[in-house]
């Protein structure tokens, strides 16, 4: 299910000194619960006074997703700054979540959580794109804040992007690929906030 955590892989990739950390992460992996499925179009997501928030307790507000995603609840080890609902991948693939909104997208804020070891080994950033037609997507220029909130080897990374172009109602978030391991459980998507104002 999580192939990196065979004993041989742990010895090879982390070394014996870090086994305790790996064992701790294994406990964390065991907390993963419900699995997401690829949902059908649910109609445009509504802004409430110009603001939309998805806490990632489910993907019911998304128009569609690429399928191999799952949810995780809780934060017993203080790894996620108290964020108790998150979405993660099953495998190290560029999974996507797509939203359609009832008004134009102006600002997008994505809270995510990266495993520090993976950041040191090499991992790409989340991709956040907008579109007016749901087919042609344009990546947002992102401000990336990764200087705060390190919890038990997990680090919060916040992406903020803004577009002034009118007509962008589609938003696509793509999980980054880990470049040197096969973890599906990191990084995790914590929250999405979108403003139409
Ligand atoms: Ca959350």
Report the pLDDT value the prediction gives residue 32, as an integer from 0 to 100.
63
Question: Per-residue confidence of the chain (197 residues) as pLDDT tens digits?
Answer: 333 333 333 333 333 333 333 333 444 444 565 555 555 556 899 999 999 999 999 999 999 999 999 999 999 999 999 999 999 999 999 999 999 999 999 999 999 999 998 888 889 999 999 999 999 999 999 999 987 678 899 999 999 999 999 999 999 999 999 988 788 999 999 999 999 99
CATH superfamily placement of domain 33-195: Galactose-binding domain-like (2.60.120.260)
87 C-alpha vs ligand 1 centroid, how far in Å?
A: 8
Model-wide pTM > 0.75: yes
pLDDT in tens, 24-49: 344 444 456 555 555 555 689 999 99
CA of 15 to the centre of ligand 1 (A): 32
- For residue 30, report the distance from its CA to the centre of ligand 1, in Å: 19
Q: Tell how far the Cα of 149 is from the centroid of ligand 1, in angstroms.
A: 15
Q: How far is the CA of 8 from the centre of ligand 1 (A)?
A: 33
Neighbours of ion ligand 1 (CB under 5 A): 55-56, 83, 85, 190-191
Report the alpha-carbon angle 162-166-168, nearest 5: 70
């Amino acid at each position: 299910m999580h192939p990196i955590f065979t004993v041989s892989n742990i010895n090879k990739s982390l070394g014996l000194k870090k086994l305790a950390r790996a064992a701790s992460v294994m406990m964390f992996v065991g907390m993963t619960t419900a699995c997401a499925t690829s949902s059908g179009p649910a109609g445009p997501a509504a802004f409430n006074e110009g603001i939309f928030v998805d806490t990632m307790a489910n993907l019911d507000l998304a128009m569609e997703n690429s399928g191999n995603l799952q949810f995780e609840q809780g934060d017993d080890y203080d790894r996620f700054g108290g964020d108790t609902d998150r979405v993660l991948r099953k495998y190290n693939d560029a999974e996507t979540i797509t939203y359609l909104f009832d008004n134009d997208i102006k600002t997008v804020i994505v809270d995510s959580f990266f495993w520090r070891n993976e950041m040191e080994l090499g991992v790409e950033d989340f991709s956040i794109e907008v579109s007016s037609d749901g087919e042609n997507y344009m990546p947002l220029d992102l401000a990336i804040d990764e200087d705060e909130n390190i919890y038990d080897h997990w680090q919060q990374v916040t992406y903020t992007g803004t577009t002034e172009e009118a007509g962008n109602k589609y938003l696509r978030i793509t999980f980054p690929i880990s470049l040197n391991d096969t973890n599906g459980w990191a990084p995790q998507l914590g929250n999405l906030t979108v403003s139409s104002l």
